[in-house]
Chain A
Amino acid sequence: MSGNTEKGQFDNKVVSWVDERLPIFTMLSKEYGVFPTPKNFNYFWNFGAIAMAMLSIMILTGIFLAMNYTAHADEAFNSVERITRDVNYGWLLRYLHMNGASFFFIAVYIHIGRGLFYGSYKGPRELLWIFGVLIFLLMMGTAFMGYTLPWSQMSGWGATVITNLFSAIPIVGDSIHTLLIGGFTVDNPTLNRFFALHYLLPFVIVAVVFLHVWALHVTGSNNPLGIEPKSKKDTLPFHPYYTSKDVFGLSVFLLFYLWVVFFHPLALSHADHFKPFDSMVTPEHIVPEWYFLPFYAILKSFTADLVIPFTGIILVEAKLLGVLAMFGSIGLLFVLPWLDSSPVRSATFRPIYKICLFLLLISMLVLGYTGSQPAEGWVVVAAQITTAYYFIHFLVILPLLGKIERTKPLPKSINESVLAKKEGK
């Protein structure tokens, strides 16, 4: 059926009947059948579909977990244990959901990295990119609240530390803090509102993913060369070419994911996540889940207040600086399309940008490591240097680099480049 774009040309009578009244099959065929897609994608283009699959897995396993979960401070920890011990395949549900969040973030980090490398955020895809960053933010909120639900030591103390950040905001901070946790300390009301929101936000994500994909289908996909397709020779219909490639990629991704689920389900978790929450006993070392570590490190790298020199008047406290920097580091991504001044999208043709981006990757890895360590000694210095690079990369390098960089010549068309590569082989 993939050749149809006109309305009502379906062999099956039922399909035709429905389509004349609601052209959903026409839409599917247009957007997922013949949708013209650049023919030169590499495997980095698989991760959007993979992220979509992970989102579905999270929602499905989450709903079944919620059927057996009790959102009460006295019961939550035990109810999660009961799920893994007594509910049929409950252990599977929990491990799928727990590790699913990690693999969802792995997919999305690679997906974002792909966008950074190939300049997918540049015009005309700015709005598409902004929806993506919004999804990322929503995912972080969802994952953070989900992590509190088992009501373990890490849950409760993680929630305490992160919600406390909001009290650093001048004037309204304390009110926001109270509103967030439903009282003055993290307790049953906190758990209840986090559960309600953890159930809600994924469906908000679904809505934004819909907008994200809608915007994608208006502008069409970017590609590794970063040049727009010019003729039919440059593209392929989405089906069967990219359906077959996406399904294969997904299958390989699931292989990694399920390997961890079945054979190392606790590799990414922490011992303090298996002790029930006790507000009187602070764990020795409170660390968030790995996917938050780089941002946590940015938060912690601000160790001194901002003062007016020689007067001792504090302008901004260190804690607030850290909070602003942490949210700012993600906020920057929203305006990235306007920070990068280069007209060339793909890093393949931008030798200096490529190096800067590599440094950014290294910075993120260093930040991730330092975020997991107690803030003392060289760890603080390393976090400060890499935090500085993060902001310099986006605020200084990207606006200037486009003006001075000698980019390599762009190929005339996608097709030409593909053919040249083939001959080179």
Chain B
Amino acid sequence: MMKIRKLFSVFIVLAFLSPVASHAAKSTEELPNIPWGFQKVFSTYDRPALQRGFQVYKEVCAGCHGLDKVAYRNLSGLGYNPDEIKAIAAEYTVIDGPNDEGEMFERAAVPADRFVSPFPNDNAARASNGGALPPDLSLIIKARTNGPNYLFGLLTGYAEEAPAGEELLDGQYWNKYFPGHKISMAPPLSDGLITYSDGTEATVEMATRDVVEFLAWASEPTMEARKQMGVKVLLFLFFLSVLLYIVKRRVWRDVH
């Protein structure tokens, strides 16, 4: 038993020393530390929060940010039924073709289409945003260290004006958490900007929490399937290990 325990400790040291080392924080500002439900080991996404977060994305962020890795059909993961999804998709137009005459044409989006981006290309997006590119948000949670907390900080961390001695260019805003602090995104949210269809009060904090939950889902829609399978696999493997240990003991009985 001692040996096994020794072995395990070697293991844990090796496996967990490195990520701690490489994930050392780089921002000067301490990020908020919110106990996100979906980050708990066995937890799922919160469906009502996902739907509210989708509403925030759709009514606010989608004006500037695409979500091009997510398809409308994926919205079933938020709890929408096929008819609702069809209706949501139909609000957008996509360019399709060429048709039999060789012409490109516009049609309403269908559930199989990916989210329609607000701008046809990066240059158009830059042109409308004073030269700054609003990144696609499909993977934003994974593409930032401590993604959910960073996003929460970013969206709630605007200051009224820059600290003394700092110059902001036209169209720049002071943000506590953005690297370099000068961000070209105006504070996108304000209290009561959104009227939630489920009646929840849309404070900035609430809307931010919801949109972060939604974007976490968008970056990994398969999280729930993963955790569900994980529980089964690990339980199975645990009992298998116990059985194999008993077998090993019996085989070795005459040697020990």
Closest approach, in angstroms, between the C-beta of A136 and any C-beta of chain B?
16
A378 adjacent to chain B (CB < 8 Å):
no
Closest approach, in angstroms, between the C-beta of B221 and any C-beta of chain A?
6
B221 and A372 form a contact (CB under 8 A): no
Q: Render A239-263 as a binary contact track against B, CB cut-off 8 A, 1 for contact.
A: 0110011011001101110111111
A293 and B18 form a contact (CB under 8 A): yes
Contacts of B19 in A (CB 8 A): 267-268, 290
Q: Render B1-42 as a binary contact track against A, CB cut-off 8 A, 1 for contact.
A: 001100100110111111101111010000000000000010
Contacts of B14 in A (CB 8 A): 106, 109-110
In the bound complex, what is the Cα–Cα distance between A244 and B256 (angstroms)?
Answer: 15
A254 and B237 form a contact (CB under 8 A): yes
Nearest residue (CB) in A for B41 is A263
Chain B contact residues, majority secondary structure: helix
Residue of B13, B144, B248 with highest tally of chain A CB at under 10 A: B248
Q: Render B212-256 as a binary contact track against A, CB cut-off 8 A, 1 for contact.
A: 000000011110011101110110011011001101100110011
Contacts of A247 in B (CB 8 A): 244, 248
Closest approach, in angstroms, between the C-beta of B136 and any C-beta of chain A?
9
A262 and B230 form a contact (CB under 8 A): yes
B117 adjacent to chain A (CB < 8 Å):
no
Closest approach, in angstroms, between the C-beta of B2 and any C-beta of chain A?
10
Contacts of A274 in B (CB 8 A): 139, 142-143, 219
A255 and B234 form a contact (CB under 8 A): yes
B248 and A245 form a contact (CB under 8 A): yes
Task: Identify A258's interface contact among B69, B234, B251, CB under 8 A.
Answer: B234
B187 adjacent to chain A (CB < 8 Å):
no
If the complex has contacts A256-B11, A271-B144, A368-B18, are A263 and B230 also in contact, measured as CB distance less than 8 A? Answer: yes
Chain A contact residues, majority secondary structure: helix
In the bound complex, what is the Cα–Cα distance between A244 and B10 (angstroms)?
Answer: 23
B149 adjacent to chain A (CB < 8 Å):
no
B18 and A290 form a contact (CB under 8 A): yes
Residue of B14, B74, B231 with highest tally of chain A CB at under 10 A: B14
Task: Identify B142's interface contact among A110, A252, A262, A271, CB under 8 A.
Answer: A271
Nearest residue (CB) in A for B246 is A248
Beyond A252-B241, A368-B18, 10 additional pairs, beta carbon < 8 A = A39-B255, A43-B3, A43-B7, A91-B226, A255-B241, A259-B230, A266-B142, A271-B142, A372-B24, A422-B256
5 contacts between A and B (CB under 8 A): A110-B10, A244-B248, A259-B230, A263-B227, A274-B143
Residues of B within 8 A of A (CB): 3-4, 7, 10-11, 13-19, 21-24, 26, 41, 69, 74, 138-139, 142-145, 147, 179, 219-222, 225-227, 229-231, 233-234, 237-238, 240-241, 244-245, 247-248, 251-252, 255-256
